[in-house]
Structure 1
Amino acid sequence: MTEHESDNGDGRISLAAVDNDAMTLMALQAIAPKLLPGGRFIWTTDSPNTAVRRALNPTTRTDMLLMDMSLGRDSGAAVCRRIRSRTPHMPMLAVTSFPLHIYAKAAADAGAQGIASKSDMPALARAMRIVADGGTVPYDDPISFETAEQAHRRLATDLSQDLPLLTDKEVETLEMMSRGYTFERLAKEWGVGSSTIRTHAHRAERKLGAVTLAQAIAIWMSEERA
């Protein structure tokens, strides 16, 4: 979907979603008006890095973001934390196909404003309306969700400990290298020169403060599994 500035003052609520399931994204877009009157999706993505960049850009930031908590090898909680630690804007609702208790604490700690099941449409609709109104979704003690502003104040103090954001290509390079790919093999698969792959790898090393590629991969993997 294209990137547009969020609507203001026309009764519409701009939405965004991060999910690695294309069918889920299509379904959310189709039923958005029923889940949230006035709601419409401005963009969707399966890329955590793209989600962070769009969430931090005022021209592509939406009124609310739905974040899948299981993004393949990526952690939805880690993406939430990266966004919320940098901005108090754009409330986030964590969504999952798994039982809510599995991800509830991680979602709250990461700065989401609630969590809802993808398979329970009435509950998802209620949660979206609560979050869209600036509230937080009630959950069983001792887990409680904060507003976007409250979560930002808490997480902003940890910003210095957060890893720099890697580009999608830098992430893909580390991913393939962790699987045993060489520069030459990856270059052939991507149809580029090996020097291009080395550039992606070296930039990732510098951003992560690593001395070697192996160290960069280890740092990246530990962050994504956090």
Structure 2
Amino acid sequence: MNEHEHHDGGTTLAAVDNDAMTLMALQAITPKLLPGSRFLWTTDSPNTAVRNTLNPMTRPNVLLMDMSLGRDSGITVCRRIRSRTPHTPILAVTSFPLHLYARSAAEVGAQGIVSKSDMPALAKALRLVADGGTVTYDDGTGPDPMSASDTEITFETAETAHRRLATDLSQDLPLLTDKEIEVLEMMSRGYTFERLAKEWHISSSTIRTHAHRAEKKLGAATLAQAIAIWMSEERA
């Protein structure tokens, strides 16, 4: 896994791709296409991508999602993320013909799709998605927000797609709040209530409240069990 973190300002980016060279290229090129942007992290692990994007501490402003991830499908990973959060617009990227993934990417909540090799289209798509917009794919010609035809595929905003996909979670675990996720994440790393309270400048009782609410939602008897259930779900 290749991960890099930055903590200064600007539009934050992240990317998931199973090709190390592609990740390096995206890190070098993308900030030039979207001035002022910088990478929070990159990874070749779908599970890490899901966990980082759902965690408010590591959530990027825009996630670049490769559609072909070896044994895993970018389509599946995109659905896992979008069904659980309205945050972080997802821009699907691929080196294959766009028509192979465009409709599926839209269905699972991506905000657009673009070829990795089309720099002008990638730059345009990044700007649109970073500004909260969406990209329209038209008849295999690439993203063109001004086009309109019978063959176009319209991508929803992250919020709209989440509302649609969240209804498919009836058999999944209850959705946790950002703070509940954050507490479970930090507790899984060995943090105590007191340490979190000190770092977050809030009372330990507030931390305990978030933890206990997460326990109740997950149907867990203990905090350790809640963490185990949550981590198991995020790896599913």
2:76 corresponds in structure 1 to 78
Deviation of 1:39 (Å): 1.2
Deviations 1:139-164 (A, max 9, x none): 22352100000000000000134599
Q: TM-score, normalised by structure 2?
A: 0.65
Count of residue pairs the alignment pairs up = 166
2:60 corresponds in structure 1 to 62
Matches within 5 A, 1:84-99: 84-99=82-97
Q: Could you tell me how far apart the structure 1 residues matched to 2:21 and 2:27 are?
A: 10
Deviation of 1:138 (Å): 1.2
Q: Could you tell me how far apart the structure 2 residues matched to 1:116 and 1:125 are?
A: 10
Deviations 1:81-114 (A, max 9, x none): 0000000000000000001000001100110000
Structure 1 unaligned blocks of 5 or more = 165-202, 209-219
2:163 corresponds in structure 1 to 153
Residue identity over aligned pairs, in percent, reads 76
Once superposed, which parts of structure 1, at least 4 consecutive aligned residues long, lie more than 6 Å away? none
Q: TM-score, normalised by structure 1?
A: 0.68
Matches within 5 A, 1:169-184: none
Q: Could you tell me how far apart the structure 1 residues matched to 2:134 and 2:110 are?
A: 9
Matches within 5 A, 1:108-147: 108-140=106-138, 141-147=151-157
SS at match of 1:135: coil
CA-atom RMSD in angstroms:
2.3
Q: Could you tell me how far apart the structure 2 residues matched to 1:27 and 1:90 are?
A: 22
Distance 1:155 1:41, change over 3 A: same
Deviation of 1:73 (Å): 1.4
Q: Could you tell me how far apart the structure 2 residues matched to 1:14 and 1:130 are?
A: 14
